[in-house]
Structure 1
Amino acid sequence: MDCHPEPDEKLLGRFPVSFATGTAASVDGRRSFRDRRRHDIEPELPGWPEGSGTFSVRRLPGKIGVYARDAVSAPFLLAWGILRDLLGGSTVDPEPGRGKLEEQEDEVDDFPVMWADPGDTAHALPWQLDPSRRPPRCVTEIVLTPGRLSVVESGRTLWETPRDNVAEATVKQFSLGRRDFRLTFQDGSWARLTTRVSAHTTELVELLNGSTVAERGRSTTAQP
Structure 2
Amino acid sequence: MDCHPELGETPLARCPGSFATGTAATVDGRRSFRDRRRNDIEAELPGWPEGNTFAVRRLPGRIGVHLRKTVSGVFAAAWGILSDLLGGATLDYEPGRGKLEEREDEVDDFPVMWADPEDTARTLPWQLDPSRCPPRYVTEIVVTTRRLLVVGSGTTLWETERENVAAAAVRRFSLGRRDFRLSFRDGSWARLTTRSSAHTTELVELLNGSSPAPLQKNDCGDTPEERRS
> Is TM (by shorter chain) over 0.5?
yes
Q: Which residue of 1 aligns with 2:11?
A: 11
Q: How far 1:212 moved relative to its partner?
A: 4.3
Q: Which residue of 2 aligns with 1:191?
A: 190
Q: Secondary structure at the match of 1:36?
A: coil
**Separation of aligned partners in 1, 2:173 and 2:107:** 10
**Separation of aligned partners in 2, 1:3 and 1:209:** 22
| 1:183-222 equivalences in 2 (<5 Å) | 183-213=182-212, 220-221=217-218
Q: String of CA shifts for 1:109-133, please: whole Å, max 9, x gaps.
A: 0000000011000000000000010
**Separation of aligned partners in 2, 1:172 and 1:210:** 18
Aligned length: 201
**Separation of aligned partners in 2, 1:74 and 1:138:** 28
Q: Which residue of 2 aligns with 1:85?
A: none
Structure 1 outlier segments of 4+, above 3 Å: 217-224
Structure 2: which 5+ residue stretches go unaligned? 75-94, 219-223
Percent of aligned pairs with the same amino acid: 75
Q: Which residue of 2 aligns with 1:123?
A: 122
Amino acid at match of 2:44: E
1:38 maps to 2:29: no
Structure 1: which 5+ residue stretches go unaligned? 76-95
Q: Which residue of 2 aligns with 1:84?
A: none
User: Is the CA contact (8 Å cut-off) linking 1:12 and 1:218 kept in structure 2?
Assistant: no
Residue 218 and residue 16 in structure 1: after superposition, are their counterparts in 2 closer, same or farther (change >3 A)? closer
Give the structure-1-normalised TM-score. 0.85
User: Is the CA contact (8 Å cut-off) linking 1:150 and 1:161 kept in structure 2?
Assistant: yes
Residue 218 and residue 201 in structure 1: after superposition, are their counterparts in 2 closer, same or farther (change >3 A)? closer
Q: String of CA shifts for 1:62-115, please: whole Å, max 9, x gaps.
A: 10000000111446xxxxxxxxxxxxxxxxxxxx81000000000000000000
User: Is the CA contact (8 Å cut-off) linking 1:10 and 1:219 kept in structure 2?
Assistant: no
Q: String of CA shifts for 1:110-166, please: whole Å, max 9, x gaps.
A: 000000011000000000000010111211111111111011112211110000111
User: Is the CA contact (8 Å cut-off) linking 1:194 and 1:201 kept in structure 2?
Assistant: yes
**CA RMSD in angstroms, aligned pairs only:** 1.9
